[in-house]
């Protein structure tokens, strides 16, 4: 956590020609809050790069946790046998006909807020609770989406349980990660009793590539709270980007492990016989990976580089909240049209466990939906739904269906909702259309020309409806639409490979433009008059955006952007530098539309060596933008000692 020192630092700004203004920032400046800009000793107009080989941390095993919106799981591989990826044990419980190498992302806490269970165990226990008792228990599901959608994510952000009670999001995520740590370590100990107690495991957590820096930092903080690693050993935890992990895995697959949808006819609602791709990946091949998950759809574009087969990102990650939960939301809206939105909202609040039952029943039918399926689908309504509706409305659900304007959902004699295939496919359309539109827009980008393959991965990619829609939209344009056989485990296995070799993605694209606010010499006619600041006879232009890296700029792994700073006054204990970001590349001022303060770099200063003045003391900060997280390190040039440097995106 960042804080301003007890003796508040002066808000000095920076001149890019090395001249320092001794002035305080004017009160109207947005930097006045807890900020401190420092004069650079080695200014430059463009980022200076240095290749730096990252030092691999010693570890015996890599454990990757794929923390998904709807389902989660872990896999591991021993460093001395990296070709063997071990999936976690099959989970107990589960739904008939559903392979459960993952478990639902469902967390159950006692009424007092203590951990009770996770996954199928949590879901089934909650289901079996008495309705009155269930109202006191805290049940969380699909809570990962909150982190994506929160525009003001902080360490204090709260999540709402099914019963409406709230709890700090950090604690909810930490409970889940602690559960996975316990299970993974127990399984590893059984396989390798000699596994050391400390620092033997490198942990990898997956996040959507479209997540911004605060969300990535949030997952790291949750991992610290869960005890996966210590904040003192940050390199023991890697954040993997989900479509990137899938890409790493896909590039290693053999022909028989891939399914080419472009060669598969459709019959009876399901795609036909599998045919292998007629050629393997070659150096220079370009491809898109579409990670279609429960909450988000994430797109990344990669090229396989010569001579080592490393990966180069060709366009910044893109996507949006177009995951499978969109179909669930459409079903909820359909129920609202039949039984009224007010009733559905009341039912969810008063009978939360029964609502979970209903969503499970829908999920099972959703998985069997196909574009050309002929027979209707029956969805079981829990008895408590039927009973609660009669008590609330004074008539039964069959009457509600008859009076409803929704004519493609009927009441079956078995006491179920009978939905036509057309109705089920309609529930998919808004979400699927968004996915098609986004892929289409990506393919129109000049950076993406020459792409040969489109990989569909993630749990939602198992849907025959989505597969058919993507095939119909893109197969005729010379794009091979391909699915790995173990499509829902692709990200998990790729995350393990990433943990074994984090340097496999050599070049990434910066999703945003990042920089700091500085002072420049004022040039009449070029700078706006309202930016003029005069002090001691010198004219300065305030609020100038000094760019570290531009949106969609290629940044190689190990490249650093260096800036040198000196303390504003003797005895200063901390340098605090505000970071600004925006989506545009050509921003000029930190007050421009779309520019926002997104974080801060904190440099902790030890006492200066005797005889060193603040004007002569140089602190050299190095920022890395080519990794999955933005990182900063710093050195006191006069002593060559490392300066404690942190970058914080959560305390805005």
Q: What is the pLDDT of residue 72?
A: 93
Q: What is the pLDDT of residue 31?
A: 37
Q: What is the pLDDT of residue 260?
A: 66
Q: What single DSSP character describes residue 589?
A: B
Between the CA of residue 527 and those of 523, 541, 565, 580, what are the distances in Å? 6, 7, 25, 20
Q: pLDDT band at 652, cuts 50/70/90?
A: low
Average pLDDT of span 391-405: 88
Between 18 and 159, the more confident residue is 159
The percentage of the chain sitting over the pLDDT mark of 90, rounded to a whole number, equals: 45
Token code pair at residue 61: 């095993």
pLDDT at 268 over 70: no
Average pLDDT of span 354-381: 88
Q: What is the pLDDT of residue 240?
A: 95
Average pLDDT of span 272-285: 53
What is the spatial distance between Cα 556 and Cα 419, in angstroms, rounded to a whole number? 52
pLDDT in tens, 428-449: 999 999 999 999 999 999 989 8
What is the spatial distance between Cα 597 and Cα 590, in angstroms, rounded to a whole number? 8
Q: What is the pLDDT of residue 92?
A: 59
Between the CA of residue 92 and those of 95, 105, 109, 356, 488, what are the distances in Å? 10, 14, 19, 19, 18
Between 39 and 286, the more confident residue is 286
Q: pLDDT band at 258, cuts 50/70/90?
A: low
Average pLDDT of span 487-491: 90
What is the spatial distance between Cα 139 and Cα 72, in angstroms, rounded to a whole number? 16
Q: What single DSSP character describes residue 331?
A: H
Out of 122-126, 343-347, 647-651, least confident range: 647-651
Token code pair at residue 34: 């807890």
Average pLDDT of span 391-416: 86
Average pLDDT of span 384-399: 90
Cβ proximity of 541 and 521 under 8 Å: yes
Taking each helix axis as running N to C, give the angle between helix 421-443 and helix 352-366, from 0 to 180 degrees, rounded to the nearest 10: 70
pLDDT in tens, 228-254: 999 988 999 999 999 999 999 988 775
pTM, to two decimals: 0.82
pLDDT in tens, 541-563: 999 998 999 999 999 988 889 98
pLDDT in tens, 493-519: 999 999 999 999 999 999 999 998 888
Cβ proximity of 429 and 456 under 8 Å: no
Out of 9-23, 306-320, 356-370, 510-524, least confident range: 9-23
Average pLDDT of span 612-627: 80
Q: What is the pLDDT of residue 152?
A: 81
Cβ proximity of 528 and 16 under 8 Å: no
Q: What is the pLDDT of residue 64?
A: 97
Q: What is the pLDDT of residue 475?
A: 82
Q: pLDDT band at 2, cuts 50/70/90?
A: very low
pLDDT at 43 over 90: no
What is the spatial distance between Cα 78 and Cα 82, in angstroms, rounded to a whole number? 6
Average pLDDT of span 132-158: 87
Q: What is the pLDDT of residue 73?
A: 93
Helix (H) or strand (E) holding 332: helix 325-339
Average pLDDT of span 634-649: 86
Task: Give 582-585 contacts, CB < 8 A, sequence gap 24+.
Answer: 582/512, 582/513, 582/551, 583/512, 583/513, 583/551, 584/513, 584/551, 585/513, 585/550, 585/551, 585/552, 585/553
Residue indicated by tokens 């007092």: 112
Q: What is the pLDDT of residue 614?
A: 56
pLDDT in tens, 164-202: 899 999 999 999 999 999 999 999 988 888 887 678 999
Q: What is the pLDDT of residue 509?
A: 93
- Are β-strands 561-565 and 619-624 bridged in parallel, bridged antiparallel, or unpaired? antiparallel
């Amino acid at each position: 956590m960042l804080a301003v020192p007890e003796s508040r630092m002066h808000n000095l700004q920076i001149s890019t020609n090395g001249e320092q203004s001794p002035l305080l920032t004017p009160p109207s400046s947005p930097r006045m809050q807890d900020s401190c800009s420092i004069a650079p000793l080695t200014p430059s107009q463009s980022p200076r790069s240095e290749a730096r080989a990252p030092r691999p941390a010693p570890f015996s095993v890599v454990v990757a946790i794929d923390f998904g919106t709807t389902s989660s799981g872990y896999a591991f591989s021993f460093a001395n046998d990296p070709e063997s990826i071990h999936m976690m044990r099959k989970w107990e419980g589960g739904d008939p006909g559903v392979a459960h190498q993952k478990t639902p992302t469902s967390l159950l806490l006692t009424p007092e807020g203590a951990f009770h269970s996770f996954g199928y165990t949590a879901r089934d226990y909650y289901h079996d609770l008495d309705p009155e008792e269930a109202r006191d228990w805290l049940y969380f599901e699909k809570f990962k989406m909150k982190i994506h959608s929160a525009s003001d994510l902080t360490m204090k952000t709260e999540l709402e349980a099914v019963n409406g009670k709230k709890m700090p999001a950090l604690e909810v995520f930490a409970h889940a990660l602690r559960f996975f740590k316990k299970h993974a370590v127990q399984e590893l100990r059984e396989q390798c009793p000699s596994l050391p107690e400390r620092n033997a495991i490198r942990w990898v957590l997956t996040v959507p590539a479209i997540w911004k820096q605060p969300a990535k930092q949030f997952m790291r903080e949750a991992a610290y709270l869960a005890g996966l690693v210590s904040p003192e050993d940050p390199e023991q935890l890697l954040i993997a980007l989900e479509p990137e992990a899938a890409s790493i895995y896909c590039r290693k697959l053999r022909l028989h492990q891939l399914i080419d949808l472009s060669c598969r006819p459709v019959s009876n609602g399901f795609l036909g016989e599998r045919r292998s791709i007629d050629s393997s990946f070659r150096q220079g091949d370009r491809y898109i990976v579409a990670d279609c998950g429960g909450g988000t759809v994430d797109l990344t574009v990669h090229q396989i580089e010569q001579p080592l087969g490393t990966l180069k990102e060709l366009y910044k990650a893109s996507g949006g909240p177009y995951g499978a939960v969109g179909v669930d939301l459409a079903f909820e809206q359909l129920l609202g049209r039949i039984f009224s939105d007010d009733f559905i909202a009341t039912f969810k609040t008063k009978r939360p466990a029964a609502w979970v039952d209903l969503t499970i029943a829908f999920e099972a039918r959703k998985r069997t939906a196909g574009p050309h399926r002929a027979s209707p689908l029956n969805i079981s309504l829990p008895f408590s739904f039927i009973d609660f509706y009669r008590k609330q409305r004074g008539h039964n659900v069959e009457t509600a269906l008859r009076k409803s304007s929704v004519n493609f959902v009927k009441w079956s004699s078995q006491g179920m909702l009978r939905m036509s295939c057309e109705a089920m496919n309609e529930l998919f359309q808004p979400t699927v259309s968004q996915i098609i539109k986004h892929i289409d827009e990506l393919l129109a980008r000049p950076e993406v020309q020459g792409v040969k393959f489109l990989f569909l991965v993630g749990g939602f990619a198992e849907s025959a409806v989505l597969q058919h829609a993507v095939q119909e939209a893109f197969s005729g344009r010379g794009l091979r639409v391909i699915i790995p056989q173990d499509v829902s485990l692709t990200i998990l296995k790729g995350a393990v490979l990433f943990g074994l070799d984090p340097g496999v993605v050599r070049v990434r694209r910066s999703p945003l433009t990042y920089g700091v606010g500085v002072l420049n010499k004022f040039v009449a006619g070029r700078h706006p008059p309202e930016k003029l600041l005069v002090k001691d006879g010198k004219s300065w232009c305030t609020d100038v955006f000094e760019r570290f890296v531009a949106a969609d700029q290629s940044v190689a792994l190990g490249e650093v952007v260096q800036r040198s700073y000196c303390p504003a006054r003797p005895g200063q204990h901390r340098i605090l530098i505000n970071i600004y970001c925006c989506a545009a590349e050509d921003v000029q001022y930190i007050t421009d539309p779309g520019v926002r303060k997104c974080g801060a770099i904190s440099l902790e200063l030890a006492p200066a060596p005797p005889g060193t003045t603040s004007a002569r003391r140089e602190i050299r900060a190095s920022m890395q933008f080519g990794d999955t997280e933005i990182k900063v390190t710093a050195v006191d040039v006069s002593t060559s000692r490392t300066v404690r440097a942190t970058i914080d995106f959560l305390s805005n």
